[in-house]
Amino acid sequence: METTVDVNHIFPERITVLDQNLISFTKSLGRSDPQSLIAAVIDELGRASAKAQYLTAPITSASKLQTNKHHLYLLKDRESNGGRGLAVGFLKVGCKKLFLLDQRGAHVETEPLCVLDFFVTEHLQRHGYGLELFSFMLQHKKVEPVMMAYDRPSPKFLSFLEKHYCLKNGVPQVNNFVVFDGFFTNRSAAQWRKVPPKKLDGEIKPYSLTQRGAVREEQRALPWPLCCPAAPPFSPPLSVSSPCSPSRARQCPNPALAPASAPGGYRGPAPKPPLIGSLNYRHCSLCDLSF
């Protein structure tokens, strides 16, 4: 890409690897990295990539690279642009946590290395620059192309992968990523985490027969009276009262014991605290007999 920036000065290597600090991994000793110039080149390449892919906004920029743990591989041509160098293209990769479907339709969770953006200046395509850039990345990351995931690859990129790496049988996914058959077969089981199916709201799992039998055995092993089910607490009815129960109803009158001077007649003894169950009736009868 033609630019007034001296690319050879800010990118000393043919392929420069940049991280989120916009610092080259392979910079020469004693050479400073002018980050503002580096950011300008990255932004220009990102806009050109978005235009080539018919995107409404760039997915690669210096600010996005600084906020993510991605790596950007930038390829230059030293002899072009009047000896100042030319930024030919770039490749951006990074790890992403993905939920994917394998060949059997099972959901798996993994975090592979992903190709997030790949661009070579249009008039320099089909000159081997893309293959050189991609091969350098594979060696730097020590990864096979079949073990990677590809974010929204263009038809040109898919043809590139099929031509140079024989990747042509993609496994359909519900997201924008593309993976190929060997992605699942060549990966160890330790790298996968099976995602259980989502349970329906309000679903209650009943006790199994084994669990019910264990509960019964525990109840039989308990000493009496712990093994017996506890009776509900006694609650005297509010609307029905026994003739002798100490409730809001009047007590049973005994005319023989009523004093003559009582102006209102005998009102009975003071109410006693309630007892449990049928003992209320027996207690009332014993009180009458004691007089």
Residue ranges for the binding site? 118-131, 154-163
* DSSP state letter for 231: P
| Contacting residues for 42 by C-beta, under 8 A, at least 6 apart | 18, 22, 60, 61, 62, 65, 72, 74, 90
Rounded Cα distance, 49 and 63, in Å: 16
DSSP run (H or E) holding 48: helix 35-52
Binding residues for acetyl-CoA: 118-131, 154-163
Residue type, 147: M
Residue type, 208: S
DSSP run (H or E) holding 165: helix 155-165
Rounded Cα distance, 54 and 50, in Å: 6
| Contacting residues for 96 by C-beta, under 8 A, at least 6 apart | 111, 112, 114, 116, 149, 151, 177
Calculate the CA 146 to chain-centre distance: 26
Lookup: tokens for 268: 């009975």
Rounded Cα distance, 42 and 117, in Å: 12
